[in-house]
Amino acid sequence: MGTILAILLVFVGCCTNVVFLELLVRSVDFPGCGNIVTFAQFAFIALEGFIFESNFGRKKSTIPIRNYVIMVTMFFTVSVINNYALNFNIAMPLHMIFRSGSLIANMILGIIILKKRYSASKYMSVALISAGIFICTIMSAKQVNVANNSSNEEGVYTFIRWLLGIAMLTFALLMSARMGIFQETLYKQYGKHSKEALFYNHCMPLPGFLLLSSDIYNHCIHFNQSTPAEIPGIGLTVPVMWLYLLINVITQYVCIRGVFILTTECASLTVTLVVTLRKFLSLIISVLYFQNPFTAWHWVGTAVVFLGTLLYTEVWTSVRVALRRADVKEVEEKKQ
């Protein structure tokens, strides 16, 4: 029952979160709202953790604070850059596909830092993921050029901004992988404390948002000026952008909690498979509901990325083993 609930939380929470994040970032009247979205998500999860995890600051952390400072610096940087990249002509589908390349970054840094060695199937899967992301990126680059061919200067400026967005996503991908390795070494030393890490990762970076305070304040003013919308069942009228932000924050929390429950209930393979399928569903929603430009080559690239991901997690092997066990069990029951 806990597993089914966790899977429902992941799919409902994460897919709804993507919809409302896109409603926020696609707004023509209020562009570049990535910082206020990140701040709201951090503040909400930090408040929940302060009440339920740290017991209003009375509970001591198991992992030393100095280690959290390093992890939090990386986590804050990754979160801010990932959301801010959406301001640089990065379409939401490409954003999702690019972030699916975390396995590539994990493998590269695993080889360099941890001196790991992988099987041939792992290298093949990463090659597929890289090829898929490359195809989608090239097709998106062509669309940026086509969409901005009215003026040479304007087209060049837009394309350079898009390249900066790609560079930001690449940096965030590598930084996220480095954070994962650091987190892995901490958990080996001090044990797994996911809820504690979730709280400190979102609470400690809050002062860092002072560097972005002017942008966040300006967007608060702009959000107040958005079209009023009535909250169903309550009858309260609020600016629609604040409503979008509230739903985005709540669904982000539901998504994170779902993944956390899943990690405690299931094997890591199941978690990876559920998260991969969720990403694919979010991509389809983004393309169909928001009618984001998505060519046949984009679908080819996407299919290659997810095929590589499934190959990496050895889903096919696990399915074959499970079917084989079922056949053996059936034969034994017939003999009896």
Task: Convert the pLDDT of each residue in 238-296 to its tens digit.
Answer: 999 999 999 999 999 998 888 877 776 776 556 766 777 787 788 788 877 777 777 78
Residue with the bigger pLDDT between 103 and 95: it is 95
Tell whether the model's pLDDT for residue 31 goes beyond 90: no
Q: Taking residues 174-180, what's their average pLDDT?
A: 87
Nearest alpha-carbon partner for 246 in 229, 260, 261, 233: 229
Q: What is the pLDDT of residue 164?
A: 92
Of 126-135, 198-207, 288-297, the least confident:
288-297
DSSP state of 239: E
pLDDT higher than threshold 90 for residue 311: no
Q: What is the pLDDT of residues 207-239, one digit of tens each?
A: 989 998 999 999 999 899 888 988 877 888 999
Would you state the pLDDT for residue 268?
59
CA distance 42 to 203: 7
What b-and-e string marks burial along 28-65, b requiring 16 or more CB atoms within 10 Å of the CB?
eebebbbbbbbbbbbebbbebbeeebbeeeeeebebee
What local confidence, expressed as pLDDT, does residue 328 receive? Answer: 65
Banded model confidence at residue 96, pLDDT cuts 50, 70, 90:
confident
Instruction: Work out the pLDDT band at 103, boundaries 50, 70, 90.
Output: confident
Structure token pair of residue 198: 């979730």
Nearest to 208, CA basis, from 43, 49, 334, 47: 43
For residue 326, is pLDDT > 70? Answer: no
Query: Mean pLDDT in the chain?
Result: 82
**Residue 221 to residue 239: CA distance in whole angstroms:** 11
- The pLDDT score that the predictor gives to residue 92 is 77
Cβ–Cβ contacts within 10 Å for residue 224, how many? 11
Could you tell me the two tokens for 133?
């992301």
The 3-state DSSP composition of the chain as helix, strand, coil percent (nearest 5) reads 80, 0, 20
Q: Which residue has the higher pLDDT, 60 or 279?
A: 60
**What phi, psi does 192 have (nearest 5°)?**
-80, 125
Mean pLDDT of 123-140: 81
**Confidence band, pLDDT 50/70/90 cuts, at residue 120:** confident
Rounded distance between C-alpha atoms, residue 206 and residue 38, angstroms: 10
Q: Which of 142-156, 159-173, 176-190, 233-247 has the lowest mean pLDDT?
A: 142-156
* pLDDT of res. 336: 63
Region 69-90 average pLDDT: 87
Count of helices and strands (H, E) across the chain = 13, 2
Is residue 48 predicted with pLDDT exceeding 80?
yes
Single out the residue of 102, 169, 92 nearest to residue 309, CA to CA.
Answer: 102
